[in-house]
Amino acid sequence: DKIDVDEIQGSNTIEEWIADDILTPWPTIMTTERPDVVSGNLLEGRIAIFVDGTPIPLIVPATWNQFFQTAEDYYLRWNISVFLRFIRIISFLITLLGPSLFIAFISFHPELIPTPLLINLAAQRQAIPFPVIIEALLMEFTFEVLREAGIRMPRPVGQAVSIVGALVLGEAAVSAGIVSSAMVIVVAATAIASFTIPHYSMTDAVRLLRFIMMLLASTFGLYGIGLGVILLVSHTVSIRSFGIPYLAPFAPFIVADQKDAILRLPKPFMKKRPRLVSQKKSNRLDTKKGGPIGEGTE
């Protein structure tokens, strides 16, 4: 009923019409092309929306932790899946805060850096004519241009352009004294960490927020980063996806749903579906052993 338009060209059109908050940078609707991901979400009580002529269905409601989960998590052993999920969360934090922390330490809090490392960083920056924020923005913008160019070009050529362009430009920039070697390492580590996020829509959101955190770090140091994190968490807590809190099961904290949030316990331990998503048929029970699903018997 919310859609007031005479044409639907794809699933993205529906996504922008029905999303609870279209102004937030976070994705509140999940998109996927994998049938196993769609069927798994349907079995948890979610809804899949298909659009004729579009190979990418929409899955609602979508919570924050879903964008760090993959279908392969359920094909691997549970302990390996937990390890990989922790790697993705740590990579998310590196992508979001890595350059801003480097800027804050160099510009405002050099006393927090070990003395030998600080001496090396100071020696590298002696010939750099720009402030550290300009240096960081220049490198980040260059990498984003290379990434976009690689996507728009044919796949074999695009990959070569991205890799060779990053290596050549990074080495040339250091040799010319435009950026320091440490800044190239930070930007490269941030870029590599961003590739571990499974869903591209979440990667795009982090790429945008990273620039905001860099500006805050260059203005207020670690206090600016802290303020940015507080505002970001407050905003994220206030979001809902089709009535479901976006940070569920962390806020509100639901103990039973922690079995498949950041952790992924073995299947025999996950007897309940997500509580807020599947409120009527919450039990994963064999109808022959435990009675009809949803009666609450075990």
Write out 95-148 in H/E/C secondary structure.
Answer: HHHHHHHHHHHHHCCHHHCCHHHHHHHHHHCCCCCCCHHHHHHHHHHHHHHHHH
Structure tokens at 119: 């001496």
- Residue-wise pLDDT for 218-270, tens only, equals 999 999 999 999 999 999 999 999 989 999 999 889 988 888 888 888 888 88
- Choice between 129 and 298, residue whose per-residue pLDDT is larger: 129
Domains in the chain: boundaries: 11-62, 78-238
pLDDT of 274 reads 85
Residue 57's pLDDT band, with cuts at 50, 70 and 90, is: very high
pLDDT of 161 reads 67
pLDDT of 278 reads 75
Report CA torsion sign: 27, 33, 35, 37: negative
- Residue-wise pLDDT for 156-208, tens only, equals 666 666 666 777 777 888 888 888 899 999 998 998 899 999 998 999 999 99
| Cα atoms in the Cβ-side hemisphere of radius 13 Å centred on 68 | 26
Residue 286's pLDDT band, with cuts at 50, 70 and 90, is: low
Alpha-carbon gap, residue 293 to 150, rounded angstroms: 49
Of 62, 68, 52, 47, the closest CA to residue 10 belongs to 52
Residue 14's pLDDT band, with cuts at 50, 70 and 90, is: confident
pLDDT of 240 reads 93
Q: Is the pLDDT of residue 76 over 50?
A: yes
pLDDT of 118 reads 92
Q: Evaluate if pTM is beyond 0.85.
A: yes
Alpha-carbon gap, residue 187 to 99, rounded angstroms: 7
| Mean pLDDT, residues 17-37 taken together | 90
**183, 191 contact by CB (below 8 A):** no
pLDDT of 288 reads 60
Peptide bond into 156 cis (omega under 30): no
Q: Is the pLDDT of residue 43 over 70?
A: yes
Residue 2's pLDDT band, with cuts at 50, 70 and 90, is: confident
pLDDT of 136 reads 92
**88, 196 contact by CB (below 8 A):** yes
Select the highest-mean-pLDDT range: 25-29, 256-260, 286-290: 25-29
Residue with tokens 């890799």: 163
